[in-house]
A and B are shown apart, each in its own frame.
Chain A
Amino acid sequence: MNPKESARRRFLKNGAALAGLAAGAMRSARGKALEVPYEGLDKIDQPYGGRSRFDRIARMVEKEYGAGRSASLVTPIQHLRGIITPGPLHYVQNHGYFPPDIDPDKHRLMIHGLVDRPLIFTLDDLGYLPSVSRIHFLECGGNSNPKTKHTAKTVQETHGRTSCSEWTGVLMSTLLEEVGVQKAASWIVVESADRVYTKSIPLAKALDDVLLAYGQNGEPVRPENGYPLRMVVPGWEGMANVKYVTRIKLVDGPYMDRWETTVQPSPRPDGKSRWFQFEQGPISVVTRPSGGHQLTGPGFYEITGLAWSGAGAIRRVEVSTDGGRNYKDAQLQEPVLRKAHTRWRFNWKWDGEEAVLQSRCTDETGTVQPTVEEVAKVWNVSLEYLRTKDKGEDMSAKHFNAIWPWKVTRDGSIHNALLT
């Protein structure tokens, strides 16, 4: 008998003694005693808490690349309930390199270039500077890419490259005031501790609302998300949010690194490429019920989902259950925060007939989420183009933010209906 098992048996034997203490937890809804306590309850002194063994919510490893050094891990947004993404479920999209294993005591942040006083900070230094906590989404510029996702089954696959956290750290403006930015500076170049990832960010954005975060949802930033220090660039595509930040250089223009000039631009059909696409447009999606969910029969269902915009706060979310012919307002759940996920809800009574569920949002600038036809018009491409995979990395349809339909069939099953 292994020690864990013996502990569990001991627990069961002593169950009677504990029953009075944990009656609620030990009984199912029908009042029948559960046979085995949740995993970890046999170790009541767990230093870092686990979860119920019945809770199987997990990220999906969508693709591995860089010879197994990197993976796309997508967030199970169909199972999340509020606006916060737990750290272990945050999406990960790295760039072909393992996350560096950083000892925080040895980590340093250097700020130099066009500044009056170059400075090196330890994490202890940063931890005693004035701090802020801000709730912001991070979304990959390639989230909900129609070329690869119009055949995907679940919203985790179609829209799971977005997550929302409370980030705690020091405002970039605080640090830049400390070093004294010179007049000639107009951009910053931010470098990761792996020294291969860099990103150029306009100084105006850096001074506006960018922060260097050491905290994520109250605990240290997760290694996959940038431990011990990550830049959060609110509302901008994931790739702008450099992880493991170790150096910031004030410069007089974008530095045209390999990533921003050759990996991240999206080619257009005319041969030209869009680059420095930063801000994420307004987008919303029905997360529940959505692809892969099964309705159990006609009756009441709460439809819920998320909406967010890189330009600011969500003002309005509307829901259609007939594929966009009619829309009605959804109820926005407080808090409704700028550049953060906004939870919305909509009451629906399913009559058992075919239905198409979709949502449309409007942000504080009045910008409305487009239909797929409207996206095609702006990009001057055909719907067929949006349905066709690229030859290379499928970068040509980045920043696609169209309304996404889910078809409910008469048997209650729900299917991805984009471009069908």
Chain B
Amino acid sequence: MHCLLKLVAPILVLALGASAMAQGPKYGRGKAPTAEEIRAADISIGPAGKELPSGSGTAKQGADIYTEKCVSCHGVNGEGNKVIGAPRLLGGTGANVGNYWPFATTIYDWINRAMPFDKPGSLTPNEVYSLTAFLLYRSNIIQESTVIDARSLPKIEMPNRNGFIPLPWPVYPYARPRPFGLYP
């Protein structure tokens, strides 16, 4: 009897432990980040714009910043530069920011995380809002005087918003039959 208890006791402990662990971390590795660490790392801006910072800008302000920090790669008229791999931003016959990008929040996210090419992450929120406003204005989507900020940016309706095949919710597992594994 004594021997049996010796065998069973650890199993009981394990079983109890397992049920308790369903609530908390199982392995306990890793450390909790501080709120500041999360804030500094979290540069993702979703389409609802929840993470957009305070600050604002207009196309007029954006034009000056564009001339100072963007024009050397993207050109005076946003035509881009194939030699150095800078894409077209405005005009042309193909896709550009104004006629193809479905969400205005994406413009903020991309400029903020990736531009200028040689100094990504160096722009202030006001500068990013201003450059976003500049591109939207030059694409005939907003007025020159429109103030772009955390409230106004997610509400902008981009011309190509409905230019995509609706997502088959849920995407996974794929709900719609795909003939031959192709996307129709």
Contacts and interface: CB of A to CB of B under 8 A. Distances in A.
A378 interface: yes
A179 B45 CA distance: 22
A128 B27 CA distance: 9
Given A178-B27, A204-B172, A401-B180, A257 B32 contact: no
Contacts, number: 177
Given A121-B29, A275-B164, A112 B38 contact: yes
Given A195-B121, A274-B183, A255 B46 contact: yes
A184 interface: no
Contact of B25 (A66, A117, A276): A117
Interface string A256-275: 11100110011110011111
Contacts of B27: 129-130, 178
Contacts of A286: none
A281 B180 CA distance: 7
Secondary structure dominating the interface of B: loop
Interface in B13-67: 25-27, 29-33, 37-38, 41-48
B130 interface: no
Contact of B26 (A177, A204, A370): A177
Most chain A CB inside 10 Å of its own CB: which residue of B41, B172, B173? B172
B85 interface: yes
A281 B84 contact: no
B95 A392 contact: yes
Interface residues of A, number: 76
Contact of B181 (A117, A126, A310): A310
Contacts of A265: 164
Interface residues of B, number: 52
B134 interface: no
A275 B167 CA distance: 8
B102 interface: yes
B33 A112 contact: yes
B29 A276 contact: no
B84 A67 contact: yes
19 contacts: A69-B85, A112-B33, A119-B33, A125-B30, A126-B29, A130-B27, A178-B25, A205-B172, A255-B44, A257-B106, A257-B109, A258-B101, A262-B95, A275-B165, A281-B178, A281-B180, A369-B180, A391-B94, A399-B183
